[in-house]
């Protein structure tokens, strides 16, 4: 009297699914891979627990420098005690909500602009209003906000200011230079080639030095330009030359037929570039452009050498205080995280943009 057991769905053997199956296919697939896995595990076992211990268990989170010296682990107190100076520099202590708010507006706008569906005229107005508000918050002087001179700006807002304005101003300039370099008008072409090659022939540091030390000596006595503006201009000029070369690569990558097609449609030079060539050329060069933007973002830290207190300089300044001397690891880890967040989100966004733009292909 056997009752037939309904043959349910037969499950694959345990060794092929679940955790065991996953480890088998991914970690212990063959002798060589098994050895690699074991070696890696060994290194992780050697490195992670002490690191964890250093960073979390033995660390001091909000103490004096003296207590930090006695603690065995990391001294995060250098950040928790000094974070406001590291982030905002010499901005008056009571007024530091203003740069904070300005940065939040910037992040909000950047976040909203991520989505290409939001790219409308209204967004352009939002940016103009946003930038204006940020400038107002930073400088003050009206609406009961005490004025704060730009010499007192520092820390993260300064880094972002140099980066965002540097990149947005350098991009159109770079496009124009690239077009100029491929122009049939000899004068324009020579000028653009000269500019690009001269700028690319010197390191950014020398440009910063020129703008901050030599340039003022040529000015009539008593006329001085803002230090931040001088550095900003140097960064824009430098980045533009590099962007121009990348974009030229994109322009040269366009098939001859595209130009001819545009011409046969009766489009003039401006229309050809605006409607046919640039949209395609700029799309091709998204990856190299982004890598230039990322390196330009990191290059802003070079303003350290002209004693502008950007994020890196404020951190170093804290490190030269006798109370916190010697905790450079912790401080630089903190700064590295901030820079990483900036760079990673840029490269992430570029990948996404690339994917969206290549949907039609």
Partner 1 sequence: MKKVKWIVGALVWTLLAAGPMAAAGTLDEVRAKGVVVVGVNPGVAGFSMPDEKGVWKGLDVDTAKAVAAAVLGDANKVKYVALTAVQRLPALQSKEVDVLCRNTTITLTRETVNGLNFVHPNYYDGQGFLIHKKMGVKNAKQLRGATVCTLPGTTTEMNAADYFRKNGMPWKPVVIESNAELNKAFFAGRCDALTSDASQLAAVRSVAPNPDDYILLPEIISKEPLAPVVRHGDDQWYDIVNWVVMALIEAEELGITSKNVDEMLKSTDPQIQRFLGVTPGLGKALGLDEKWAFNIVKQVGNYGEVFDRNVGPKTPLKLERGLNDLWTRGGLMYSFPFR
* Smallest separation, CB 328 to partner 1 (Å): 5
Q: Which is nearer to partner 1, 249 or 326 (CB)?
A: 326
* Smallest separation, CB 78 to partner 1 (Å): 10
- Give Cα separations from 126 to 107, 118, 140 (angstroms): 13, 11, 20
* Smallest separation, CB 84 to partner 1 (Å): 7
The one among 24, 69, 200, 351 contacting partner 1 by CB under 8 A: 69
Collect all residues with Cβ–Cβ distance below 8 Å to 301 and sequence separation of at least 6. 159, 310, 311, 312, 339
Compute the distance between CA of residue 154 and CA of residue 211 in angstroms, rounded to an integer. 19
* Smallest separation, CB 120 to partner 1 (Å): 40
Compute the distance between CA of residue 153 and CA of residue 117 in angstroms, rounded to an integer. 35
Is 99 a residue that touches partner 1 (CB under 8 A)?
A: no
* Smallest separation, CB 199 to partner 1 (Å): 22
DSSP assignment of 270-315 equals: HHIIIIIIHHHHHHHTHHHHHHHHHHHHHHGGGGGGGT--BHHHHH
Q: Say if residues 114 and 349 touch (Cβ distance below 8 Å).
A: yes
Q: Which is nearer to partner 1, 84 or 298 (CB)?
A: 84
DSSP assignment of 317-329 equals: HHHTSTTTTT-HH
The one among 49, 92, 146, 172 contacting partner 1 by CB under 8 A: 92
DSSP H stretches of helix in 140-255:
155-181, 186-200, 204-209, 215-218, 227-253
Looking only at residues 128 through 167 of this chain, which bind partner 1 when binding is defined by CB under 8 A? Answer: 149, 151-152, 154
Is 117 a residue that touches partner 1 (CB under 8 A)?
A: no
Looking only at residues 23 through 52 of this chain, which bind partner 1 when binding is defined by CB under 8 A? Answer: none
- In the structure encoding, which two tokens stand for residue 188, read together? 């324009």
- Cα dihedral 220, 223, 228, 234, rounded to 10, equals -20
Looking only at residues 195 through 224 of this chain, which bind partner 1 when binding is defined by CB under 8 A? Answer: 209, 212-214, 216-217, 219-224
- In the structure encoding, which two tokens stand for residue 92, read together? 């008056």
Collect all residues with Cβ–Cβ distance below 8 Å to 331 and sequence separation of at least 6. 78, 79, 86, 315, 318, 319, 324
The site string for partner 1 over 258-297 (x = CB under 8 A, - otherwise) reads: ----------------------------------------
Q: Which is nearer to partner 1, 88 or 297 (CB)?
A: 88
Listed ranges 83-91, 117-125, 167-175, 270-278: which one lies at the site for partner 1 (CB under 8 A) = 83-91
- The number of beta carbons lying within 10 Å of the beta carbon of residue 66 is 8
* Smallest separation, CB 47 to partner 1 (Å): 21
The one among 53, 84, 189, 283 contacting partner 1 by CB under 8 A: 84
The site string for partner 1 over 303-332 (x = CB under 8 A, - otherwise) reads: --xxx-x---x--xxxxxxxx-xx-x----
Q: Which residues would be at the binding site for partner 1 (CB under 8 A)?
A: 69, 81-82, 84-85, 88-93, 149, 151-152, 154, 209, 212-214, 216-217, 219-224, 227, 305-307, 309, 313, 316-323, 325-326, 328
């Amino acid at each position: 009297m056997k009752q037939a057991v309904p043959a349910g769905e037969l499950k694959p053997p345990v060794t092929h699914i679940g955790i065991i199956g996953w480890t088998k296919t991914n970690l212990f697939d063959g002798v060589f891979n098994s050895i690699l896995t074991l070696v890696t595990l060994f290194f992780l076992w050697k490195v992670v627990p002490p690191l964890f211990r250093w960073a979390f268990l033995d660390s001091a989170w909000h103490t004096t420098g003296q207590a930090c010296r006695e603690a065995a682990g990391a001294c995060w107190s250098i950040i928790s005690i000094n974070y406001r100076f590291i982030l905002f520099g010499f901005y008056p202590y009571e007024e530091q909500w203003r740069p904070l708010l300005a940065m939040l507006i910037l992040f909000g706008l950047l976040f909203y602009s991520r989505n290409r569906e939001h790219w409308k005229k209204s967004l352009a107005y939002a940016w103009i209003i946003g930038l204006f508000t940020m400038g107002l918050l930073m400088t003050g002087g009206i609406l009961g906000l005490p004025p704060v001179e730009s010499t007192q700006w520092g820390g993260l807002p300064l880094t972002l200011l140099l980066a965002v304005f540097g990149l947005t101003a350098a991009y159109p300039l770079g496009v124009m230079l690239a077009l100029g370099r491929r122009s049939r008008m000899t004068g324009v072409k020579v000028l653009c080639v000269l500019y690009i090659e001269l700028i690319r022939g010197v390191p950014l540091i020398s440009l910063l030095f020129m703008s901050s030390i030599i340039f003022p000596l040529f000015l009539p006595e008593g006329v001085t330009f803002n230090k931040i503006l001088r550095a900003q201009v140097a960064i824009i000029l430098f980045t533009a030359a590099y962007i121009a070369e990348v974009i030229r690569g994109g322009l040269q990558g366009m098939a001859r037929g595209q130009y001819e097609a545009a011409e046969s449609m009766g489009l003039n030079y401006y229309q050809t570039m605006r409607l046919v060539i640039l949209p395609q050329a700029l799309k091709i060069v998204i990856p190299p452009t982004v890598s230039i933007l990322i390196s330009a973002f990191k290059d802003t830290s070079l303003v350290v050498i002209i004693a502008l207190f950007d994020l890196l300089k404020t951190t170093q300044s804290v490190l030269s205080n006798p109370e916190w001397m010697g905790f450079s690891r912790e401080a630089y880890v903190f700064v590295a995280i901030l820079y990483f967040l900036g760079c990673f989100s840029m490269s992430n966004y570029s990948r996404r943009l690339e994917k969206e733009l290549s949907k039609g292909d």
